[in-house]
A and B are shown apart, each in its own frame.
Chain A
Amino acid sequence: MTSFGTAVAVITIGIGIIGLILKKNLIMKLLSLSIINTSTILFFIMAVYTPGDRAPIGPMGPIQMADPLPQALTLTAVVINFGVLALSLLFTMVLVKRYHTLDIEKIEASVKREYNEEET
């Protein structure tokens, strides 16, 4: 089960990266980024999972317990992903307000045009 869990996490990371590269819509890019974030956390947690683990809460004894270290590592990452996501949505809003489109290629084209106009 561990290997299947990590395999799913790696495949979802791959899907997220492909979406990040191929999608031309800025919002779709952000959504793919969210997929990558979640899958990375999943990878951390699934990598140390063995079947029959219970939550690392309670007296520490002979009972089989999930590894608390990756949980401690990834817990803060969830909240930070949210903060970063909100910031990147804000920048998308700024871009949309200026260029009136979500298409990254159109934005690039108009940036290039503006730059050329400034040069001449």
Chain B
Amino acid sequence: MPLKITHLSAKEIYTFLIVCLFCVLTIAGVVLSSDLDVTRVGPQYLEGISNLNNISNSVYGIYGMYRFYDTLFELLVFSTAVLGITLFSDIQSAGGSKSGQLVESHIVDTSASYLYPIIALFGIYLAYSAHRGPGGGFAGGVIGGSGVLLLAIAIGADLIGERFYETTMKKVEYLILLIVMAIVIAGLFLPVAVYQGNGGLGVIVMVNLAIGTKVFIGTWTILHFFVKHRGEL
């Protein structure tokens, strides 16, 4: 005898089943992860880093020693996303004339123009000093980008460098990707000593600064697009 569920549509039954399935999976996940026994990072990792005696932030030690290619390809993913936005920004014309400030206030204006250099400096510091303290290329680039965000809010959408962006930034963006690639690929041919010991420090700082610039320009591109197309959803 067939089961009769008349007051529910097929779609609702499927939805209910999926929700049940995920509840079961979630509970199973909780139960399984409660006695999760993750072995901590192997001693060989930390030993490898401790050879680099100038690097005290072991997160970036792991980057410098083991994860250069990984970082490169993650950077490629980010660049692809930004490239997509750049292409659509060219195709899609902004609806209507959208210029002017987002916030009209002298206090915000003035404080933003004084704060921006400090924020940018802090971003550069974070990218530069990642081997010594928390920070790194990604964090530094993002903090620098948030300075641009402040400018976009305070001074206006047009003034966050429409012309400068269109002419210079687009080219520099991919140049920096090439620089990171060159540094990483050079590791195949250069002697290991350059990447370890005191030489390794220079490479890590260079890569971090390059990543920081790349992420900074990427976030700038994204902000530029969304300020230009604001209110379209």
A–B contact with Cβ pairs below 8 Å: the answer is yes
Q: Does A69 lie within 8 Å of B41, measured CB to CB?
A: yes
Q: What is the CA–CA distance of A14 and B81 in the complex, to the nearest angstrom?
A: 27
Q: What is the CA–CA distance of A47 and B40 in the complex, to the nearest angstrom?
A: 10
Q: Report A's interface with B, CB cutoff 8 A.
A: 2-3, 6-7, 9-11, 13-14, 17-18, 21-22, 27, 43, 47-48, 55-60, 65, 67-69, 71-72, 75-80, 82-84, 86-87, 89-90, 92-94, 96-97, 102
Query: Using Cβ atoms and an 8 Å threshold, which residues of chain A touch B61?
Result: 68
Q: Does A14 lie within 8 Å of B57, measured CB to CB?
A: no
Q: What is the CA–CA distance of A60 and B38 in the complex, to the nearest angstrom?
A: 21
Q: Does B136 lie within 8 Å of A18, measured CB to CB?
A: no
Q: Does B59 lie within 8 Å of A60, measured CB to CB?
A: no
Interface residue B99 (Cβ < 8 Å from any Cβ of A): no
Whether A97 touches B232, Cβ cut-off 8 Å, given contacts A10-B29, A55-B134, is: yes
Q: What is the CA–CA distance of A9 and B156 in the complex, to the nearest angstrom?
A: 39
Q: Does A22 lie within 8 Å of B15, measured CB to CB?
A: yes
Which secondary structure dominates chain A's binding surface? Answer: helix
Q: Report B's interface with A, CB cutoff 8 A.
A: 15, 18-19, 22-23, 25-26, 29-30, 33-36, 38, 40-41, 45-46, 49-50, 56-63, 67, 70-71, 74-75, 77-78, 81-82, 84-85, 88, 92, 132-134, 136, 138-139, 141-142, 215, 218-219, 222, 225-226, 229, 232-233
Q: Does B134 lie within 8 Å of A57, measured CB to CB?
A: yes
Q: What is the CA–CA distance of A11 and B60 in the complex, to the nearest angstrom?
A: 31
Query: Using Cβ atoms and an 8 Å threshold, which residues of chain B touch A79?
Result: 74, 78, 138, 141-142, 215
Give the contacting residue for B34; candidates A3, A22, A97; CB below 8 A. Answer: A3
Q: List 7 A-B contacts (CB under 8 A).
A: A14-B25, A14-B29, A58-B56, A69-B62, A87-B84, A89-B233, A90-B84
In the complex, number of A-B residue pairs with CB atoms less than 8 Å apart: 136
Give the contacting residue for B138; candidates A7, A18, A76, A89; CB below 8 A. Answer: A76
Q: Which of A2, A47, A83, A90 has the most CB of B within 10 A?
A: A83
**Which 7 A-B pairs rank lowest in CB-CB distance, beginning with the nearest?**
A14-B26, A83-B81, A76-B74, A3-B34, A10-B29, A6-B33, A68-B58
Which secondary structure dominates chain B's binding surface? Answer: helix
What residue of chain B has the Cβ atom nearest to residue A49's Cβ? B38
Q: Does A21 lie within 8 Å of B19, measured CB to CB?
A: yes
Q: What is the CA–CA distance of A48 and B49 in the complex, to the nearest angstrom?
A: 19
User: In whole Å, how far is B125's beta carbon from the nearest beta carbon of chain A?
Assistant: 15
Whether A3 touches B82, Cβ cut-off 8 Å, given contacts A27-B233, A58-B56, is: no
Give the contacting residue for B67; candidates A18, A22, A72, A92; CB below 8 A. Answer: A72
Whether A18 touches B58, Cβ cut-off 8 Å, given contacts A75-B136, A93-B233, A102-B233, is: no
Q: Does A72 lie within 8 Å of B218, measured CB to CB?
A: no
User: In whole Å, how far is B43's beta carbon from the nearest beta carbon of chain A?
Assistant: 11
Give the contacting residue for B63; candidates A72, A78, A102; CB below 8 A. Answer: A72
Q: What is the CA–CA distance of A14 and B41 in the complex, to the nearest angstrom?
A: 28
Q: What is the CA–CA distance of A77 and B75 in the complex, to the nearest angstrom?
A: 10
Query: Using Cβ atoms and an 8 Å threshold, which residues of chain A touch B71?
Result: 76
| 13 additional contacts (CB under 8 A) given A86-B82, A94-B92 | A6-B30, A13-B29, A21-B19, A27-B233, A47-B33, A56-B57, A57-B58, A60-B46, A65-B58, A78-B138, A83-B82, A86-B222, A89-B226
